Amino acid sequence: MTSGRELDCGQCKYSTRVHTSVSGSLQDRQEPQHILIQNTSDFADQYPHVEVIGTDLSPIQPSWVPPNVRFEMEDATQPWTFKENSFDYIHMRYLFGSISDWDRLFEQAYRALKPGGWIETFDADAGLFSEDNTVAENSALDTWGKVFREAGKKFGRTFYPIEENVQVPGLEKAGFKNLDVWDFNVSWLCS
């Protein structure tokens, strides 16, 4: 599902496929109040008027966060503890290798979103590749990708959600409409 477009970041040879599916944009929303973020970033600084809840498996978050942020220990692969219709926006990022049932994940997100709410996923495939063959067959980087592919098969959690196309069908099955999908390659700096 890659467009072949590569983001230029200097002297790059290696790329990874990145994919994001969005059913809208937070900027299109009127005054969102409650946000759930898997793998929280500096999102709260961008939107200081909203309550941002970050989740993770363990309490590893910093204490120096904006006042509108709180963290909860939550396993996205287990039944969610959040009430139905409680979020305006849910953002998930880099869950590859973590999710055994993508359909169930998106069903829970759909249940937790308010009517008219928005979901965004941002994920990548674990393998590295090069369009100019600088990632040679059986090289260390090629082997890296093969090891992750096999490991994911053995424990039932893909490291290749883009290539295996697990997100878009899961979002649609959960009931999300009007999906926009952007696929692109991200280059890695070599020097």
Q: Is residue 20 part of a domain?
A: yes
What lies within 8 Å, CB to CB, of 95 at 6+ separation is 38, 39, 76, 105, 121, 123, 161
Out of 81-85, 131-135, 170-174, which region has the weakest mean confidence (pLDDT)? 131-135
**Mean pLDDT, rounded, of the chain:** 77
Tally of domains within the chain: 1
pTM here is 0.79
Residue 46 has pLDDT above 70, yes or no: yes
* pLDDT value of position 6: 35
Residues in the chain: 191
Asked which of 46-50, 82-86, 101-105, 136-140 is least confident by mean pLDDT, the reply is 46-50
Where residue 175 falls (left for φ over 0; alpha for ψ -120 to 50; beta otherwise) is left
pLDDT score recorded for residue 14: 40
**Residue 77: pLDDT over 90:** yes
Find the Cα–Cα–Cα–Cα dihedral 173, 175, 181, 187, rounded to 10°: -60
Which residue type does 9 have?
A: C
User: What was the pLDDT predicted at 50?
Assistant: 83
Residue 23 lies in a domain: yes
Q: Read off the CATH number of the domain in which 42 is found.
A: 3.40.50.150
pLDDT at 109 over 60: yes
Report the pLDDT value the prediction gives residue 25, as an integer from 0 to 100: 44
Measured between alpha carbons, how far is 22 from 28 in angstroms, rounded to an integer?
12
Query: How buried is residue 103: exposed, middle or buried, by Cβ count under 10 Å (0-12/13-18/19+)?
Result: middle
Please give the Cα distance from 38 to 16 (Å, whole number): 21
* Residues pairing with 122 in the sheet: 20, 93
Answer yes or no: is 142 within a domain.
yes
Q: In the chain, what percentage of residues exceed pLDDT 90?
A: 26
Most confident range, picked from 89-98, 100-109, 123-132: 100-109
Q: Is residue 54 included in any domain, yes or no?
A: yes
State residue 92's pLDDT score: 87
* Residue 115 reports pLDDT greater than 70: yes
State residue 12's pLDDT score: 32
Q: Which domain holds residue 104?
A: 6-189
| Structure confidence at residue 34 (pLDDT) | 64
Domain assignment present for residue 38? The answer is yes
d(CA 13, CA 131): 8
The residue among 1 and 111 whose pLDDT is bigger is 111
DSSP annotation string for 24-49: S-GGGSSS--EEEEES--THHHH-TT
Q: Is residue 1 one of the residues assigned to a domain? A: no
